[in-house]
Chain A
Amino acid sequence: GAVVSQHPSWVICKSGTSVKIECRSLDFQATTMFWYRQFPKQSLMLMATSNEGSKATYEQGVEKDKFLINHASLTLSTLTVTSAHPEDSSFYICSASVGLSHHEQFFGPGTRLTVL
């Protein structure tokens, strides 16, 4: 149980284009989904938290107009990187929480984005 999928697993795009990443909880309904970014040899950095049907809460320093998050259902959240630049190249990972009392998060396999 508690399987989270992400698509695509990797993407290469040109500078200035937009990229959409999907995160799905496959066998449970996720009350909350999280988006993280991880640069090589660094720890996870939380970008935003999203709850189904409401606006995402972004962490300080994360541009909400650049990283658009939509949480349309209890099993799907999307992250769109708009007008991507080479510095946006990173490993993007989503996680989902069932909302149980201890708030454990289950991670998707991640999406490796390379912006040329």
Chain B
Amino acid sequence: QKEVEQNSGPLSVPEGAIASLNCTYSDRGSQSFFWYRQYSGKSPELIMFIYSNGDKEDGRFTAQLNKASQYVSLLIRDSQPSDSATYLCAVNDGGYQKVTFGTGTKLQVIP
């Protein structure tokens, strides 16, 4: 069974700091990796995706992928209180369109 694991948190960081969120996955054949943000009571929102080893930057967000070690991470620079949410990692194996979601990491940015 394909698994995606995340630390449930909460991860607390002060405003302006870098928040680092991590995710590991079990299926070595996984091809695409996604980070979603979900505010309490709302549906998930796609932040970014990555499919090649290395870093991918989009504004304050950087996704990092290491397929050899089977982990993907999300860095949030200059964290803001509005970044406080649950961050979901999702993995697709490249075949069928279904993705497997982790249980999410709750991030709290302290003003």
Residues of A within 8 A of B (CB): 31-32, 34, 42-44, 46, 49, 93, 97, 99, 102-110
Give the shortest distance, in Å, between A112 (CB) and chain B (any CB): 8
Contact code string B69-103 (vs A, CB < 8 Å = 1, else 0)? 00000000000000000001010100011110111
B43–A110 CB distance below 8 A = yes
B25 within 8 A of A: no
Residues of B within 8 A of A (CB): 31-32, 34, 36, 42-46, 49, 51, 88, 90, 92, 96-99, 101-104
Look across to chain B and name the residue whose beta carbon is closest to the beta carbon of A105.
B99
Taking a contact as CB atoms closer than 8 A, the residue among A32, A43, A93, A108 that contacts B97 in the complex is A32
Known: A44-B44, A109-B43. A103 touches B103 (CB 8 A): no
Look across to chain A and name the residue whose beta carbon is closest to the beta carbon of B48.
A104
Look across to chain B and name the residue whose beta carbon is closest to the beta carbon of A33.
B97
Look across to chain B and name the residue whose beta carbon is closest to the beta carbon of A32.
B97
Can you show 30 pairs from A to B with CB atoms below 8 A apart?
Answer: A31-B97, A32-B97, A43-B102, A43-B104, A44-B44, A44-B88, A46-B101, A49-B96, A93-B43, A99-B97, A102-B31, A102-B32, A102-B49, A102-B51, A103-B32, A103-B92, A103-B97, A104-B34, A104-B46, A105-B46, A105-B90, A105-B99, A106-B46, A107-B44, A107-B46, A108-B43, A109-B42, A109-B43, A110-B42, A110-B43
User: How far apart sit A34 and B49, CA to CA, in the bound complex (Å)?
Assistant: 18
Look across to chain B and name the residue whose beta carbon is closest to the beta carbon of A59.
B98
User: How far apart sit A114 and B98, CA to CA, in the bound complex (Å)?
Assistant: 27
Q: A46-B101, A110-B42 are in contact. List 4 more A-B contacts (CB 8 A).
A: A34-B98, A102-B31, A103-B32, A110-B43
User: How far apart sit A97 and B97, CA to CA, in the bound complex (Å)?
Assistant: 8
A103–B99 CB distance below 8 A = yes
Give the shortest distance, in Å, between A21 (CB) and chain B (any CB): 13
